[in-house]
Each structure stands twice: as structure tokens, then as C-alpha cells.
Amino acid sequence: AQSVTQLGSHVSVSEGALVLLRCNYSSSVPPYLFWYVQYPNQGLQLLLKYTSAATLVKGINGFEAEFKKSETSFHLTKPSAHMSDAAEYFCAVSADGNNRLAFGKGNQVVVIP
């Protein structure tokens, strides 16, 4: 079974500073990996995904993530935080034949002016 670990439930970042959210996965087969963002009282929106093509994945809103098999990681970064980046971020992995997504616990990102 696959699983995802996201450390640090709350992440505070200054406006204009680097955003770094860590995601480590566990999977017995090559995984598909996703980062989703959720704004208050809304559904989840896909930021980016890794599906075994390029290891550096660029997503929406200036976010990107790098798949590192040796480290079983898929960390999310954005060079310069904006106030609008304040939201909940979930890393997820899909690797089993039943099409389940295993979510991490999420990171609540707070942007400080």
C-alpha cells in the first residue's frame, strides 16, 4: 500500500520568500504523485502532477516540484510567496490498481506580509 508523509502541519512564510513544502512517499510500484491546493470552503485544485515523465514538474501559480526516486520525495516549491498562496496543501500518491489516492495530512500555509 502507498502512503505519504507531510511534516509540519502549519508553515509560515514571509511574502516574497521561498515556499518549501516537503512530501515523502512510500510505494512498492512506480507512483503517480500529486500536489493539490484547497482554499477555504472549496474543493481541491490540482497544482501539479508527476506521472513518470520529466522529474521536474511545473504547475500552476508558479509552483514546481521535483521527483527524487532515491529520496522518495516530491517536495513542492515556489520562489516567492504571495498573499494569495495562503491555503491548505495536500500531497497525494496513487499507485495501486484500485485507483485510490493516499493523501498526506496537509500543510496549512500562512503568508506573513
Partner 1 sequence: DTEVTQTPKHLVMGMTNKKSLKCEQHMGHRAMYWYKQKAKKPPELMFVYSYEKLSINESVPSRFSPECPNSSLLNLHLHALQPEDSALYLCATRDRLGEQYFGPGTRLTVT
Of 76, 74, 82, give the one whose Cα is nearest residue 64: 76
Binding mask 42-71 for partner 1 (x = CB under 8 A): xxxxx--x-x--------------------
Residue 72 sits in the site that holds partner 1 (CB under 8 A) = no
Residue 100 sits in the site that holds partner 1 (CB under 8 A) = yes
| Backbone angles phi and psi of 24, in degrees to 5 | -120, 140
| Cross-strand bridge partners of residue 75 | 66
Find the binding residues for partner 1 in span 7-46 (CB under 8 A): 9, 32, 34, 36, 41-46
